[in-house]
Structure 1
Amino acid sequence: MSNEPPPISATSRIVDSRSLRALAHPLRLRILDLLSDHGASTSAKLAERLGENTGTVSWHLRHLAEHGYIEEEEGRGTKRERWWRRKDRNLVLRTRELTTDPETLAAMSVYRHHYLERTFQRAARALAVPPTGDWVGAGNMSDWGDVRMTPDQLRALGNELLEVIRRHTPDPEAPVPAEAQPVLIQFQVLPMLPLPTEESE
């Protein structure tokens, strides 16, 4: 998820208010995660992974397809067994352009909560396996919680960090070196605003 910069490839999608409200359902978000992490799947296989009823999963798959988040994989499966795959790899949320009506704000809250949980889970999985060889010391975890910035400064910092990541991300069409392994890249630049209860004290 990214908040401000425009899409940079054909695999990116700008999420508007309507499609955000359609996506912001815990089960739909989990389905999208599974399709992202494990590739195309059927409603029956997804239902087994999620511990859900196949009919329920099928209904949510159709809803995700209706709003363009997933698509049917042509030439695979049968009329009774349809295979679904994720359509856009990168979702771009331009929060300043999204409407501020209560329904959209609630959907944004659901999406952000799920996104935070998924970010933590992926980092935890990465840390669960100790690095060896040249991978020792190659990663980095840092935190700055005492910096003061204006909104424009924070926005500029986030955009510049994204540009750095884009410069270092290999071309997906280029040959992959033999020693290359999947890596996890995460960062957050968030305003540490006081809670409403803190403001009233």
Structure 2
Amino acid sequence: MSKKKKPIKDLHVIYDAQTMWVLASPIRVDVLNAVCALEECSVAEIAAFTGRSRTSLYPHIEQLLESGLIFEGEKRLAGKRYEQLYIPLARSIATKHNSKDPENVAYHQAYGNAVGRLMARLHERATAQPDAAVRGPTRDTFAGIFSAWVDDNELEEVNSILSRLWEICRESHPGDGKRLVNVGIIMAPDRRAQD
């Protein structure tokens, strides 16, 4: 009789800086993103998802395990051997920003850089695919940067749209007829215009 699987919670918020710093690496962000999206997966599946070699992933998986962001699940027979499966702490991981804590601010700056580098890598890989959908309502490949002058009401609308986007991402699950897309967002006020 197999064990009943514990459901994966939708969101976990990290408050401590030590755990946050684990995610200051684009590779670990990529690995965690893979485990969160796949919900239960082997190193081979993480390697296929990320496009990285299996051997390069082990130290990053170890750090994610030590930080409690992923866990070892069951083992599954793969050919003649058993492979370890990994499950995420939650389907989505967030961090608490504290602008009064210099270490917290430094982490969020490093994380923004990691997300930017990872999204650039993913976008580069996607645009090289002959089936990249770059236009229309089912577009799955896009990059852009826009500067906008917004008032408080418009900024509230932007944040409402972002919240809805994260909600769609958090509630998604693998399934027939679905394709995986990576969504990364960096929003920053531009203080240059005020100087």
Structure 1 length as normaliser, TM-score? Answer: 0.59
**Counterpart residue number, 1:40:** 41
> 2: CA distance between counterparts of 1:135 and 1:101?
41
Structure 2 length as normaliser, TM-score? Answer: 0.61
**Counterpart residue number, 2:128:** 128
Cα drift, residue 90 of structure 1: 1.5
**Counterpart residue number, 1:111:** 111
Task: Please give the residue correspondences for 1:1-201 in structure 2 after superposition, counting only pairs within 5 Å.
Answer: 10-18=9-17, 19-25=19-25, 28-33=28-33, 35-36=35-36, 40-42=41-43, 49=53, 52=56, 57=59, 61-76=61-76, 82-95=84-97, 98=98, 100-131=100-131, 137-138=136-137, 139=139, 141=142, 143=144, 145-150=146-151, 152-153=152-153, 155-165=155-165, 172=172, 176=176, 178=177, 180-194=178-192, 199=195
> 2: CA distance between counterparts of 1:125 and 1:11?
28
Q: Contact 1:40 / 1:86 at 8 angstroms: preserved in 2?
A: no
Percentage of matched positions with identical amino acids: 18
Structure having the higher Rg: 1
Q: Secondary structure at 2:150's aligned position in 1? A: coil
Question: Alpha carbons of 1:155 and 1:14: their partners in 2 closer, same or farther (altered >3 Å)?
Answer: farther
Question: Alpha carbons of 1:121 and 1:105: their partners in 2 closer, same or farther (altered >3 Å)?
Answer: same
Gaps of 5+ in 2: 1-7
Aligned length: 175
Cα drift, residue 191 of structure 1: 1.3
Question: Could you tell me which amino acid in structure 1 is paired with residue 53 of structure 2?
Answer: R
- Give the RMSD, CA atoms, in angstroms: 4.4
Which structure: greater strand fraction? 2
Question: Could you tell me which amino acid in structure 2 is paired with residue 101 of structure 1?
Answer: D
Q: Secondary structure at 1:194's aligned position in 2? A: helix
